[in-house]
Amino acid sequence: MTLALLCVAAVVAAVIQRVTGLAFILVLIGPAVVVYGPTQGVTVAVLLAIIASAIALPSAWNQLDWRRILWLLGAGLVAAPFGALLTRLLPEPALLLMIAGMAALALLAHRLGGVVAASLRGRRGALLAGGVAGFMHASSGLSGPALAAFAVGDRWDQRRFAASAQVILLGYGLVSVLLRGMPSIPVTDLAVLGVCTAAGIIGGALLTRVIPLSLARWAMLSCAWAGTVVVFIRGLLALAT
């Protein structure tokens, strides 16, 4: 039953990723952590996000902005080892609470958009946003908000940003899995979840013109907040025992 629910979450997350360009892990992180725990759950979510970005990338190739990609990706890869190290140092209750806190911060980041965007412009802004994004991706998988904040601050065209984000997330994901190691869950679970992710991306491509962006964002926020609350409660319970 838990695997079936996680498969549904993976399909929904992949559809939203295809429609909006981001938010795969933000939607999936709660269910993945609840099913597999804070360490393995994040690694599973990051691994599935690699599949999602890899499948979405070919159709976005002509829109890539390599100058911004290289600065954001380079800074993120430098910061990623520190994020992975943090997950090894924290006990499970603290890790659960950290993931819930980062998810909540990611969900509320748009309210600080005007303040944050002013400092996220040009090469310096790309290095700052890339460093934060890489650290958060390796520690929790939640790099999207930092990238989105830079896109707003640097006035990055939405289509080119959504396309370029697939390369950046793919790079962050590969390095994060290399640092964290492959998840120690049944291979059949990974295979089924991978197929569900691929199906969601393909289905999302077909539904892009049908699903309103506002509906996709509402679904993203609803799923993400539900997962965040569950992870937070689980962290509190782990802390109390």
- Tens of pLDDT, residue by residue over 11-69, are 999 988 887 777 898 889 889 988 998 889 999 999 999 999 999 888 888 889 999 99
Residue 8 C-beta-side C-alpha neighbours within 13 Å: 7
Percent of the chain with pLDDT over 90: 39
Cβ atoms of residues 8 and 192 within 8 Å = no
User: In this predicted model, which residue has the larger pLDDT, 224 or 79?
Assistant: 79
User: In this predicted model, which residue has the larger pLDDT, 136 or 1?
Assistant: 136
Cβ atoms within 10 A of the Cβ of 179, count? 17
Name 108's Cβ contacts closer than 8 Å, sequence gap at least 6.
none
Name 238's Cβ contacts closer than 8 Å, sequence gap at least 6.
92, 93, 96
Predicted pLDDT of residue 191: 95
CA 230 to CA 85: how far, in whole Å? 25
Cβ atoms of residues 21 and 161 within 8 Å = yes
Name 94's Cβ contacts closer than 8 Å, sequence gap at least 6.
235, 239
Predicted pLDDT of residue 8: 93
| pLDDT over threshold 90, residue 209 | no
Percent of the chain with pLDDT over 70: 93
Q: Which residue ranges make up each domain of the chain?
A: 2-240
CA 17 to CA 156: how far, in whole Å? 18
Tokens of 8: 């549904």
End-to-end CA distance of the chain: 26
CA 46 to CA 170: how far, in whole Å? 9
Q: What is the mean pLDDT of residues 217-226?
A: 74
User: In this predicted model, which residue has the larger pLDDT, 116 or 147?
Assistant: 147
